[in-house]
A and B are shown apart, each in its own frame.
Chain A
Amino acid sequence: MTHGLWNLRVKIDGEMILDVDPEMGYLHRGIEKISEDRHYNEVITLMDRCCYVAGFSWEHLYILSAEEALGIRPPERAEYLRVLCDEFQRIGSHLMWYAAFVQDIGLMSPFLYGMRDRDLVLDLFQSFTGARMTYEYMRVGGVRNDVPSGFTDQCRKVLNWLTDRFVEYDQLCLGSTIFRERCDGLGLLKAQDCVAHGVTGPMLRSAGVRRDLRKDRPYSAYDRVDFDVAVADGADVTARYLVRMEEMRQSIRILNQVVDWLDRHPGPVLADRLPRWLGAPYAPIGNEGYLLKRNYPKGVGFSAVEEPHGEAQAYTVNDGGEHPYRVKFRSPVFANISAARQYLIGYHVADIPPIMGSVDVCVGEVDR
């Protein structure tokens, strides 16, 4: 949920919205261009900055496509660790959204509850990556390091705490007259419009479409964990709230299974026999230094993950050089905002904050 980094040009007649035109680009850093000048593992640093509230999901996305392009497979424990990162990240991102969204519509106290609980997730991230937002944890071929001892017990404590919080969240929002009056029936976007305009993620599922890449096109260890796809059928702001809340409950369900698996299956977290150039790109080999000609593979990689905001895709083209030839990312929020005309026109000016809030805009990944 980002404020202030983009403009929405609105044409109005009195209080009625006649036309809208989102203006993006204020946060454009040229991540796709910079990636063409970087070594494969150095791009990970940029991915954290793509969406700064869901850094792990973007790392995972890039890593999957780079591994495909380079023909590298990670060990199983690394796949489970990536799922752990992704799902905790989903909870963190949705809690951040919850906190910012309810504040936008005039409820102050849920902001404090949301941020308080998101901090528990960030504490967990800090304990095994050293960072709270920009992790640089995943690597081509696995992850950087294993989790510390006692980590899984700490996870269980956080998960138990979070499980009991949803009653509180719902009472604060669904039980509030302000919330219901400002959200019910607003920002309608029916299923066929969602599909035509490329809208994905919680917005699409709130229109009753049961589509989740974790189920439909499983990656990493998602085919080995048990969970349900959260859907609602209101297609409005309240329905999007309900879908995100249910997604967090399902994430907790996935995480409980992952944590149990991690306890039972110790092992390596980085593939052995990685090509030498991948581990230390600029370390000299022999006396020739980094001028030595190395055998970079050729290939393309395409990956798609279910990010907290929707479907993100990465396409890596690799022409046998030291850097990716071209990296293209598809941001789910980019598509969700591009459909703004469909869900804003016909409503009132005062409806813009709840409707745009329910989209969960992260400008970092729209502008890249």
Chain B
Amino acid sequence: MEPDDIARQLAPKLGDGLLSVEPFPGTAGRVRFRPEKALDLFRSVRDDLHFGHLSMVGGIDWVDHREVFYVAWSDEAKQYVFLSTDVPANAAHIETASSIWPSANWHEREAWEMVDITFDHHPDLRHLLMPDGYTFHPLLRSFKLHEPEELEVKSRRV
């Protein structure tokens, strides 16, 4: 499957919700879409393009906005497809994919606690790897790791 095939099949269903389909290393292509049309896109990718297996959901913090990406696999085409969309950093939310692909459940929980992206209508959005009540989002760029400390070696008087 080529990026053009994907664009041809998705365009009638999504209209202006589909931004572009570009080549992406190791996959059939990268589909860029508007977050408002997320559910339509997921349904179309699963039912029309037959990418029945969602492998991964994750987020990237680009400081001025956040990117949510999805990787799905098709047993017919034996290929991955990469879906990605941008959400604003001050209102980072998108519809959950777990109603289309149940496997999105845990991946979205992780993306929420790590990159602070809220998944609307998620069945069970709570902490997964971090303890309950943890208020930070470690994979944001604003979350700094400690710099390696330089220890001062004091000369000892003999």
Contact = CB atoms under 8 A, between A and B. Distances in A.
A39 interface: no
Nearest to B127: A25
A299 B71 CA distance: 18
A196 B101 contact: yes
A198 B80 contact: no
A150 interface: no
B53 A302 contact: no
B55 A28 contact: no
Contacts of B26: 68, 301-304
B102 A196 contact: yes
Instruction: Assign chain A's interface to a size class.
Output: 35 or more
Contact of A195 (B53, B129, B130, B131): B53
A13 interface: no
B44 interface: no
Contacts of B20: none
Given A24-B128, A33-B139, A313-B71, A196 B106 contact: no
B75 A33 contact: no
Contacts of B127: 25
A25 B131 contact: yes
Interface in B117-153: 127-131, 138-139, 143, 145
Contact of B25 (A30, A300, A338): A300
Contacts of B92: none
Interface string A332-343: 001100110000
A328 B56 contact: yes
A198 B103 contact: yes
Contacts of B53: 195, 198
A302 B75 contact: no
Interface string B44-57: 00000000111110
Contact of A28 (B52, B105, B129): B129
A330 interface: yes
Contacts of A197: 102-103
B145 A315 contact: no
Nearest to A342: B102
A330 B60 contact: no
A116 B25 CA distance: 42
A88 B78 CA distance: 26
Nearest to B115: A326
A301 B25 CA distance: 6
Given A196-B102, A197-B103, A216-B78, A25 B25 contact: no
A32 B101 contact: no
B30 to A, nearest CB: 9
A217 interface: yes
A100 interface: no
A184 B114 CA distance: 40
Contacts of A68: 25-26
B123 to A, nearest CB: 11
Interface in A295-318: 300-304, 311, 313, 315, 317
Contacts of B54: 198
A301 B130 CA distance: 27
Contact of A338 (B61, B103, B131): B103
Interface of B: 24-27, 52-56, 58, 60-61, 69, 71, 73, 75, 78-80, 82, 101-103, 105-107, 114, 127-131, 138-139, 143, 145
14 contacts: A25-B131, A33-B145, A217-B79, A300-B24, A302-B24, A311-B55, A311-B73, A315-B56, A315-B58, A325-B60, A328-B56, A330-B55, A330-B56, A334-B107
